[in-house]
Amino acid sequence: MPTTFTINNRPVTVDIDPDSPLLWVVRDTLDLKGTKFGCGKAACGACTLHVDGMAVRSCAFPLKYAEGKTITTIEGLAEGDNLHPVQQAWTEMVVPQCGYCQPGFMMATAALLNKIPNPTDDDIDANIVNVCRCATYYRMRKAIHRAAEISGG
């Protein structure tokens, strides 16, 4: 049964098992490799992307729930050549170490800034709960505050 949605401003229709995790549709069918597989249990957050502006764990998001939705992945976060404030801040603060989990963190952060433009440390602790095995949390916290500044929050 075909599923139709918009991803990074591009309308797409895929004819795949509607119970397939959106993560694998994004990566393997649509060839957008920025969204990462981490745990497959909605625990680590490496697969975070936006569905209608809300951060979701795509490894546990069956394709059928994407019908008619607007999806944004890390590849669609920038507007043309203008990097998103989160991406700018991540670059400024040289956040990544190995980098594997960072797209998920950036998508989670972008979703947070949409709701709370100038988050406190407590807001960050409550909302950004992804897992980074390189433990780049300290630099990420700085980058989140910097992204808020760049956004004018």
Partner 1 sequence: MKILLTGFVLVALTLTGLAMTATTTAPESTPFDVMMSALTHKRCVNCHPSGDRPRQGEDSHTHNFNVQRGIDGHGVAALQCATCHRPENNDFAGVPGAPHWHLAPREMAWEGKTRTEIARQMLDPDRNGGKSLDDIVRHLTEDELVLWAWNPGVDDEGVPREKPPVSKQAYITAVKEWAAAGAPIPQTAD
Binding of partner 1 at residue 16 (CB under 8 A)? no
Least Cβ distance, residue 81 to partner 1 (angstroms): 26
Cα–Cα distance, 147 to 117 (Å, whole number):
9
Cα–Cα distance, 118 to 151 (Å, whole number):
9
Distances (CA, A) of 125 to 3, 16, 52, 57: 35, 37, 23, 18
Site for partner 1 in 67-106 (CB under 8 A): none
Cα–Cα distance, 112 to 114 (Å, whole number):
5
Least Cβ distance, residue 115 to partner 1 (angstroms): 4
For the record, the structure tokens of 144 come out as 């989140």
Binding of partner 1 at residue 125 (CB under 8 A)? yes
For the record, the structure tokens of 21 come out as 């995790």
- The window from 30-38, 58-66, 78-86, 88-96 that contacts partner 1 (CB under 8 A) reads 58-66
**Residue 65: how many CB atoms within 10 A of its CB?**
14
Least Cβ distance, residue 73 to partner 1 (angstroms): 16
Cα–Cα nearest to 64, from 100, 18, 107 = 18
Total interface residues for partner 1 by CB under 8 A? 27
Least Cβ distance, residue 121 to partner 1 (angstroms): 13
Going residue by residue from 18 to 47, which x/- string records binding to partner 1, judged by CB under 8 A?
Answer: -x-x------------------xxxx----
List interacting residues with partner 1 (CB under 8 A).
Answer: 19, 21, 40-43, 54-57, 59-62, 65, 108, 111-112, 114-116, 123, 125-129
